[in-house]
Amino acid sequence: MEILVCVRRVPDTAENEIELNRAGNDIERDDLVYSINEWDNYAVEEALQIVAKAGGNVTVVTIGSDEDEEVLRREMAMGANQGVLITDDAFNGSDGKGLATILKAFVQKGKYDLILTGVQAEDGSAQVGGMLASLLDYPFASLVNSIEVLDGKKLKISREIAGGNREMNEIDLPCVLSIQTGINEPRYVGMRGIRQVASLEIPTYGASDLGIDEGLVGVGAAKVQRSDYFVPALGKGAEMLHGSREENIENLIGLLKAKGGLK
């Protein structure tokens, strides 16, 4: 099975302090450490597990610049057969549809049975997978938390829905799935593994290589654009108890009694 996983390099969620920069128009990016988007990592692990059983190859692709190569290499160290970097100045500022358009062009250059994305990335939009499927006219399923290969033509998948329940679906190949965290336990990628892939070839593709009409991508075509970042003025919020611990406990017990919290 040929699997393509679309990945993204994002500021690491655990190892950074996200703060507004001095100009107030972006987050403070000095001192940020980046890593692969957590959801995408689960997707790559899932792809690796599928080909381990069913045979095939895993390709990881990202849209960005040279800096983004490091996540491709990390996933290759994890076991992905090939990494691909799609880069072109014309792509800068693309919105979700722009990114999906670019990926669509890449997908159509190859022959993939299964395309995986993470459910969402750092901006929480959760859109590229669904848009890509729609542009390709492939069936789509989001929030996938288990995959079973039924045969070369279809999969049995489950989607995460409310209440911890799972919605079971059958889906035809080729299809696009967005993968939810917790679907598996991603293997560890050691530093040695990363060193071993440090000099492997990563092909790059630009707009002309993929035959993309530049009018459809980039900041010019983006219908949705971010104006700024801000930290919302804190509303009324909670009534904060500022006393000593004993005082707070006493206060709290009083409130709990009044609200029926103590039986």
Partner 1 sequence: MARIFAYIEHKGGVADDSAAELAAAARKIDPAASPTAIVTGWGADLDTVCNSLKASYTEVWKIANEALAYPNGELVRKALAKVVPHGSLVLVAHDHFGVDLAPGLAIKLDAAFVSDAVAIEGLDGAFLKVVRQEFGGQMSTHVRCDISSGAVINVRPGSFKPIDSAPVNGAVTDKSPEVGVLTSGRRYVGTVVADAGDVDISKETVLVSIGRGIQEKDNVAIAEELADAMGAAVSCSRPVVDAKWLEKSRQVGSSGQTVKPKVYMACGISGSFQHLAGLKGNPFIVAINKNPKAPIFQVADVGIVDDLLEFLPELTSKIRELK
Partner 2 sequence: MLEGIPSAAQATYWSIPGPVLFSIIAFLGLACFAYIVARRLAPLLRGERDIRFDRPLLRLERVFKYWLGQWKHPRFRTAGTMHILIFAGFLILAFQAFSLLILGISGDVVLSRFSETAGHLYGPVKDYAATVVFLFMVIAATRRIVFRPARYEVPAKFGKGHKADAIFLLALIATLMASEGLIEASKVALQAQRGQSVEFLAVLSLPWLMKNALSAVSQPTLWNLYRGAYLVDVLTFYFLLCYRPFGIQFHVETSLFNVYFAKLDRGTVKPVKWGLDAAQLDQVKSVGVKTFEDFTWKHMLDFYSCADCGRCSDQCPANAVGRPLSPRFLTTKARDYSFQHYPIVGASGNGTPLIGSIYSEDEIWSCTTCGACEEECPLLIEYIDKIVDLRRGMVDDGNVPKSLQKPLKALESRGNPYGKMEKKRAEWTKAPDFQKTCNVPVLNGSTSEDTLYFVDSITSYDDRMQSIGRATAKILDHVGTNFGILGAAEKDSGHEVRRFGEETLFMALRDDNVEAIKASGVERIVTADPHAYNALKHDYKDVPPVEHISQFIAREVKTGKIKFNPVEDAEKVYAYHDPCYLGRHNQVYDDPRDVLDAIPGLKRVEMTRSRDRALCCGGGGLMLFYEPKEEQRIGVLRAKMAAEAGANVIVTACPFCMVNMEDAIKVAGLEGKMTAIDLTELVDQQIARGSVSTVATSEQSAETIQEPAPV
Alpha-carbon distance of 113 to 18, in angstroms, equals: 38
Of 43, 61, 78, 119, the one binding partner 1 (CB under 8 A) is 119
Of 109, 195, 226, 257, the one binding partner 2 (CB under 8 A) is 195
Using rule CB under 8 A, residue 127 touches partner 1: yes
Residue type, 3: I
Of 22, 111, 164, 192, the one binding partner 2 (CB under 8 A) is 192
Of 55, 152, 215, 260, the one binding partner 1 (CB under 8 A) is 260
Using rule CB under 8 A, residue 55 touches partner 1: no
Using rule CB under 8 A, residue 22 touches partner 2: no
Residues touching partner 1, count (CB under 8 A): 79
Using rule CB under 8 A, residue 227 touches partner 1: yes
> 60 pairs with which residues across the strands?
5, 83
Residues for the chain: how many in total? 263
Q: Judged by CB, which is closer to partner 2: 37, or 94? A: 37
Alpha-carbon distance of 72 to 110, in angstroms, equals: 18
Q: Is 221 helix (H, G, I), strand (E, B) or coil?
A: helix
Using rule CB under 8 A, residue 245 touches partner 2: no
From residue 68 to residue 87, what is the string marking binding to partner 2 with x (rule CB under 8 A)?
A: ----------xx--------
Of 67, 137, 151, 185, the one binding partner 2 (CB under 8 A) is 185
Alpha-carbon distance of 46 to 53, in angstroms, equals: 11
User: What are the two backbone dihedrals, phi and then psi, of residue 116, each rounded to the nearest 5 degrees?
Assistant: -120, 145
Alpha-carbon distance of 97 to 90, in angstroms, equals: 14
Smallest separation (angstroms) from partner 2 to the CB of 5: 17
Using rule CB under 8 A, residue 33 touches partner 2: yes
Q: Judged by CB, which is closer to partner 2: 191, or 262? A: 191
Of the candidates 18, 3, 92, the one whose C-alpha atom is nearest the C-alpha of residue 56 is 3
Tokens of 108: 């159509």
Of 45, 62, 97, 147, the one binding partner 1 (CB under 8 A) is 97
Start-to-end C-alpha separation, the chain:
58
Element (H, E) at 177: strand 175-179
Using rule CB under 8 A, residue 181 touches partner 1: yes
Applying CB under 8 A, the span of 43-51, 71-79, 90-98, 198-206 interacting with partner 1 comes to 90-98
Using rule CB under 8 A, residue 134 touches partner 1: yes
Applying CB under 8 A, the span of 62-70, 71-79, 116-124, 196-204 interacting with partner 1 comes to 116-124
Of the candidates 34, 32, 107, 120, the one whose C-alpha atom is nearest the C-alpha of residue 73 is 34
Q: Is 74 helix (H, G, I), strand (E, B) or coil?
A: helix
